[in-house]
Structure 1
Amino acid sequence: MKRVLLILAFLLMIISCNSPEKNPQFSESQNITTKYTELKKIISIEVDDTFYVYIRVPKNYADKKDNYPVLYLLDGDIDFNMATSIVRYLQYGKEAPDLIIVGIGYGTMMDDSEQNFRKRDYTFTKIDKLEQSGGADKFLCFLSKELIPFIDKNYRTTEKRILNGYSLGGLFTIYASLKENNLFDSYIIGSPYIKDNLDSLISLAENYSDFKSKIFITVGEKEDDENFHTPIKKMFNQFKNIAADKNNIKFTEFKNGSHFTCPSEALTYGLQSVLSEN
């Protein structure tokens, strides 16, 4: 009897799998909104341009009166959603506190478009192969005089600020750490393109003998030596030389990492590093 029941069950399964295709019902499409997130357009006087600023507050922000550290992201159009997911994962593992996340963007992810001016804003000198380069000082003024005061005024923030930048954004992040060091407490610097500006950055660093900020700088194993490994390691050593506490200066090379596989790793391990007590 038991055997007969098993055979019947098997036959029913075969019949079910071979039955005519069924059409499930789908609801009407709905626009997706990300919880606890808003987008603001800020017209900068310093840069004379409009920035798209993506802001996410912690889940229980409205129910509490706590103040929160702020993570500022360059290339916010592409990095903001990535960062919110990374922070949530770290929080699941109790490796990150609640943060306010601020992504600074241009309304488009395409850096070759007429709307995205990362090449202008993230470079502090004219670079021959990059048109419109050299606007980093104005962009830094936008951060210090316009954006950060706006965030501090309208949201409950602490004095702890983290700046994350990748590639050209990494170049700007290093520049900001040396040009206006008190603006942020920690700097996450992923695969910075600093080859053309290495000497200038080292000269800026030589003005310090007691550098107190946390630095987390990375490179992918598969990135080339001339453009990335060699200049990045020289910059890392320079940060070590000027650091008040050498334990605050960290370098990581991601195994098998290429330039476009490492942004998420740089931010993940960068946050883990700069948010730690050591």
Structure 2
Amino acid sequence: MTPPAAAASAPAYQYQGSVQRALTFTSKITGIEYPYHVYLPVGYAASSERYPLLVATDGQWSFPAFARMLDQRRKPMILVSIEQGPGDRRAIDYTPKGAAYMRVLKEELIPMVEARYRTSGVRSFTGTSYGGLLGGLLLNAETGEQPYFSHYLLFDAAFWALRREHLQQTTQLRCAAAEPADPRDPEQRHHGQRARREGLCGTLAEAWLRGPEAGLQVLRPQARRRGRPVLRLGD
């Protein structure tokens, strides 16, 4: 008896832009090797245009969906999607236990990507669950008038992982960042005063000490006021 033919698998999606898969870099800060993937929009190779950059966490899961969405909608944007690294590294890097990971993104991965590809300097960040928690920590660390990330897309953020000691550390870091390096410099003094006046110094961390709802109530207005809408946040 002839066995039935196996069901034909769906054809692989054909990108109009281009993808570069399974790239790697080793962080000097954490000593971890991280795989990452890049999507370049339609027309990138034939133009001299510069494009905004979307940084996505959990590239081991998120890259195909984000890359296909950008490609199908012809969004003129570069996507870099970093994987979590070996084991369950996201449980360290994406939480307050891995504060050094924010430096990995800002001091290693993103400068490397921006040197290699034609980016415009406009950056967005997206993350889900632990990745959303990391986005909240990055947003809470922003100071001054020029944000590092212009937009944050945070989904079902795992804020339950925060502990009192983590929030107290965040408050101390934010208040230190609001202090001018040179108190005699009027511009630096202005930015420090503005940070404290607008609640950028520790307000979110202090609210989280009262509970997740209080934290979300502070986070949304801060994001909107600073021109970074939070599309969705979960607790």
TM-score with structure 2 setting the length: 0.68
Is 1:237 equivalent to 2:209 in the alignment?
Answer: no
Give 1:83 deviation, angstroms: 0.5
Give 1:183 deviation, angstroms: 2.3
Residue 122 of structure 1 is matched in structure 2 by: 94
Structure 1 vs Structure 2: percent identity of aligned residues? 20
Q: Distance between the aligned counterparts of 1:142 and 1:157, measured in 2?
A: 19
Is 1:163 equivalent to 2:141 in the alignment?
Answer: no
Give yes or no for contact 2:152–2:228 (8 Å, CA) kept in 1.
no
Of residues 25, 40, 54, the one that matches 1:42 is 25
Q: Distance between the aligned counterparts of 2:199 and 2:50, measured in 1?
A: 26
> Cα 1:115–1:32, aligned 2, differ >3 Å: closer, same or farther?
farther
Look up the SS of the partner of 1:183 in the other structure. Answer: coil
Of residues 114, 133, 137, the one that matches 1:175 is 137
Structure 2: which amino acid aligns with 1:245? Answer: R
Query: After the TM superposition, which residues 19-34 of structure 1 pair with which residues of structure 2 at under 5 Å, given as runs?
Result: none
> Cα 1:74–1:239, aligned 2, differ >3 Å: closer, same or farther?
same
Residue 81 of structure 1 is matched in structure 2 by: 64
Structure 2: which amino acid aligns with 1:237? Answer: Q
> Cα 1:145–1:85, aligned 2, differ >3 Å: closer, same or farther?
same
Structure 2: which amino acid aligns with 1:66? Answer: E
Structure 2: which amino acid aligns with 1:150? Answer: M
Give yes or no for contact 1:205–1:238 (8 Å, CA) kept in 2.
no
Structure 1: give runs of 5+ residues left out of the alignment.
1-20, 92-96, 108-113, 125-133, 213-229, 260-278
Aligned CA-pair RMSD = 3.6
Cα-to-partner distance string for 1:170-207 (whole Å, 9 max, x where unaligned):
11111011224532111111111112427518847787
Highest RCO, 1 vs 2 (Cα 8 Å, sep ≥ 6) = 2
Give yes or no for contact 1:68–1:156 (8 Å, CA) kept in 2.
yes
**Greater radius of gyration (CA):** 1
Query: After the TM superposition, which residues 79-228 of structure 1 pair with which residues of structure 2 at under 5 Å, given as runs?
Result: 79-91=62-74, 97-106=75-84, 115-124=87-96, 134-135=97-98, 137-180=99-142, 182-197=147-162, 200=167, 203=171, 208=195, 209-210=197-198
Give 1:235 deviation, angstroms: 2.5
Structure 2: which amino acid aligns with 1:105? Answer: E
> Cα 1:147–1:243, aligned 2, differ >3 Å: closer, same or farther?
closer
